[in-house]
Amino acid sequence: PRVSVIGAGNVGRTLAQRIAEKNLADVVLLDIVNGLPQGIALDLMEAQGIELHDSEIIGTNNYEDTAGSDIVVITAGLARKPGMSRDDLMNVNAKIVVEAATKCLQYSPEAIFIVITNPLDVMTYLVWQSTGLPPQRVMGMAGVLDSSRLQTFIAMELGVSTADVHAMVLGGHGDLMLPLPRYCTVSGVPITELMDEITINRLVERTRNGGAEIVKLLQTGGAYYAPASSACTMVETILRNQSRLLPAAAYLKGEYGLQDVYLGVPCRLGCRGVESILEVRLTDAERLDLHTSAASVRQNVHLALD
């Protein structure tokens, strides 16, 4: 199989490395900067004999080279800089993402699209809208990352193996995300049985600020190792038709009482993309939070379309 990764920045190049070293697919890494994707691809290829994988990695500035991709992952776009408003970032990234998606579709009409560029839920909506693809073939990556952050914090707090912890975070990728402690477990035991409410709330808050915590530490940009791992899991699930249940930004058609919006919900992912959306039972408060998150995404979509 073939996966195109658009944007050879921190997230894109790390994702390319993960896909290749897991032997999942050949990777086409595309960026607007001349030489950048070519240099990274060559560097990664020069480790092939040591890492012992068979994936070919091609760096390019030309969309023709992405032809025949099974999956296109979009990471292209600006990260926030001082003096830039959120709306500035949104409008700049909207143009980049829409152009990338429509050009990729031209050469890979059968591809499934995974969007990573922020603001995530808004960019995913724009990719769906501009490509005119069936919604099951366009999704956004955020929930796997937000859930794995919560999973990590729970494991650290309890001193248990991360592998035994399962966590679920729904909603938009931002301050209004909706971590669901009621549905987090350690080897099947709900964490609400293992921790007090104050501790749980602390972990939930840390998850909400998980991205910002890393931006503050790095000073030079955002997180990319865990984001790349999260996207790679989605790529693997789709390529291998694994039917894993993963939170992803998906197009809602009435699920959770919401319509015509992209939002993080539990999805069964397989070779056709979002095979189905699972509706978990929510309390009135959780449902209200999800609707608030949806309203914020919708408002930003309108701003981006203006």
Q: Which residues are part of the catalytic machinery?
A: 173
H helix runs in the chain, sequence order: 10-21, 36-45, 48-51, 86-107, 120-131, 143-158, 197-208, 210-218, 225-239, 284-305
Judged by CB, which is closer to ligand NAI: 120, or 261?
Answer: 120
**Burial state string for 119-140 with b = 16 or more CB within 10 A and e = fewer than 16:** bbbbbbbbbbbbbebebbbbbb
Q: Which stretch binds ligand NAI (CB under 6 A): 30-38, 195-203, 273-281, 292-300?
A: 30-38
Judged by CB, which is closer to ligand NAI: 34, or 49?
Answer: 34
Q: Rounded to the nearest whole angstrom, what is the least distance from the CB of residue 92 to ligand NAI in the complex?
A: 8
Which residue in 3, 76, 111, 177 binds ligand NAI (CB under 6 A)?
Answer: 76
Residues between 215 and 234 that touch ligand NAI (CB under 6 A): 221-224, 227
Q: Which residues are within 8 A (CB) of 102 and not within 5 positions of it... i.e. 6 or more apart?
A: 130, 131
Q: Which stretch binds ligand NAI (CB under 6 A): 29-37, 43-51, 104-112, 187-195?
A: 29-37
What are the backbone angles phi and psi of residue 148, rounded to the nearest 5°? -70, -30
Task: Work out whether 100 is an interface residue with ligand NAI (CB under 6 A).
Answer: yes
Q: Judge contact between 76 and 12, C-beta under 8 A.
A: yes
Amino acid letter, 21 = E
Task: Work out whether 147 is an interface residue with ligand NAI (CB under 6 A).
Answer: no
Which residue in 8, 44, 167, 269 binds ligand NAI (CB under 6 A)?
Answer: 8
91-92-94-96 Cα dihedral, nearest 10 degrees? 160
Task: Work out whether 40 is an interface residue with ligand NAI (CB under 6 A).
Answer: no
Task: Work out whether 200 is an interface residue with ligand NAI (CB under 6 A).
Answer: no
Q: Which stretch binds ligand NAI (CB under 6 A): 7-15, 46-54, 234-242, 292-300?
A: 7-15
Estimate to the nearest angstrom the gap between the alpha carbon of 20 and the chain centroid: 18
Q: Which residues are within 8 A (CB) of 17 and not within 5 positions of it... i.e. 6 or more apart?
A: 44, 228
Task: Work out whether 301 is an interface residue with ligand NAI (CB under 6 A).
Answer: no
Applying CB under 6 A, the site for ligand NAI has a residue count of 30
* Token pair in block for residue 48: 């092939």
- The DSSP result for 50-89, as a single string, is HHT----EEEES-GGGGTT-SEEEE--SPPP-TT--HHHH
Q: Judge contact between 185 and 278, C-beta under 8 A.
A: no
Q: Rounded to the nearest whole angstrom, what is the least distance from the CB of residue 18 to ligand NAI in the complex?
A: 13
Which residue in 145, 184, 186, 267 binds ligand NAI (CB under 6 A)?
Answer: 145
Task: Work out whether 167 is an interface residue with ligand NAI (CB under 6 A).
Answer: no
Which residue in 55, 69, 118, 148 binds ligand NAI (CB under 6 A)?
Answer: 118
Q: Which stretch binds ligand NAI (CB under 6 A): 47-55, 72-80, 234-242, 251-259?
A: 72-80
Q: How far apart are CA 221 and CA 227, in angstroms?
A: 13
Which residue in 112, 142, 150, 234 binds ligand NAI (CB under 6 A)?
Answer: 142
Q: Which stretch binds ligand NAI (CB under 6 A): 40-48, 117-125, 237-245, 279-287?
A: 117-125
Q: What is the contact surface with ligand NAI in residues (CB under 6 A)?
A: 6-12, 31-33, 75-77, 79, 93, 96, 100, 116-118, 120, 141-142, 145, 173, 221-224, 227
